Every structure is written in C-alpha cells, then in structure tokens.
Amino acid sequence: MRRTILASLCLSVVACSSQLQTRPELASLPNVSFHGSDRVGAGKLEPADIPKLAAGGIGTVIDLRDDSETPDFDEGAAVRAAGMRYQNLPIRGPQDLTAENVRTFDALLRSAGNTPTLIHCVSSNRVGALMALRAGTLQGLSSEAALELGKAWGLASLEPTVREQLAR
C-alpha cells in the first residue's frame, strides 16, 4: 500500500514538473530553468512577459532586482494586476549576499509553499547565488553540491563570492 502511494506521489511530481516545463509561455522566458514541480528560474522580464507567467501557471514571482534596475517598469504592479503574488528582495551584488538575505529568501520560498513560483533577476546569476547559499547554509548540502545546484539555477560570475561564503 505504501509503495503504491509513494509511486503515485512520484508520478504526480513528475507530471507537474512536466506541465511547467512544457508550457510554451514559460519556455520562451530569458535564461529559463525548471526545478521540480513548482519552481522556475529566469532572467530579466519585460512587460510582455507578465501575461505569459499567469498563463503558464505561475502564482508567485520573486524579483531579486532593485527598483532602480527597472525605472520604466513597475513589475510589482503588473504582476499583482495579473493576479499573481509579487515579492521583491533587492540583491544588488556580492555585498547583498548576506546571511540575513539568505534567510529572507528562504522565508519567501517557504511562504510560496507549493505555488508555482518564478524567481528572477537580470541573468539568473543572483538567483543561482541565493539558491546555492540557501542550500549550503540552511539545508545542509555540501559546498560542492550547493554550487552545482546554484549553477543549475544560473550562478555564474558570483560563484567566487558564493564559494568563499560556503567555505566559512
């Protein structure tokens, strides 16, 4: 009985993951990456991308950019107007990859629960950095495993900073 339930749960997770990955609305996002059944990473969003997110089943957007990066686009207002939840955690660069911001990021992800959630910045580098730091400092992954996870999410130029923090 337990094996049957476990097998059903595994098939459900795979089916949900496949649904997000096969959504053409999401597949066209910049630097898109799919993680599990309910998480998507991406790069810079444009105003025309917001309806795609809603149509693609996204319920929460976590934006890691500072408002100064998008002076002509109020992403929060656009996301909320499209019926999604919007969260903003400005990560301007290495100086903002702090333990406090990692904990805040973790709280944002936990508050999203199983809601399909898109996490983005400009290139997905900051997304990968926070994912790696979260995995290594809060979830107990080894430094190398956390870095590999971060790279899957888009970690690139922030890798030396993340590597240094994980070594502490």
- Count of domains in the chain? 1
The predicted pLDDT at position 37 comes to: 87
The predicted pLDDT at position 20 comes to: 77
Q: Tell me the pLDDT of the chain (168 aa) as tens digits.
A: 443 333 333 333 333 444 677 688 899 999 999 998 899 999 999 999 999 999 999 999 999 999 999 999 999 999 999 999 999 999 999 999 999 999 999 999 999 999 999 999 999 999 999 999 999 999 999 999 999 999 999 999 999 999 999 998
What 3-state DSSP class applies to 161?
A: helix
Beta strand 60-63 with 117-120 is parallel
Residue 158 contacts residue 94 (beta carbons within 8 Å): yes
Confidence (pTM): 0.88
The predicted pLDDT at position 63 comes to: 98
C-alpha distances (whole Å) from 51 to each of 17, 47, 112, 120 are 20, 8, 19, 16
Please give the structure tokens belonging to residue 94: 């290495």
Q: Which domain holds residue 21?
A: 2-167
The predicted pLDDT at position 159 comes to: 98
DSSP for 12-59 reads HHHHHHHHHHT-HHHHTSTT-EEETTTEEEES---TTHHHHHHHTT--
The predicted pLDDT at position 21 comes to: 77
| Residue 104's CATH number | 3.90.190.10
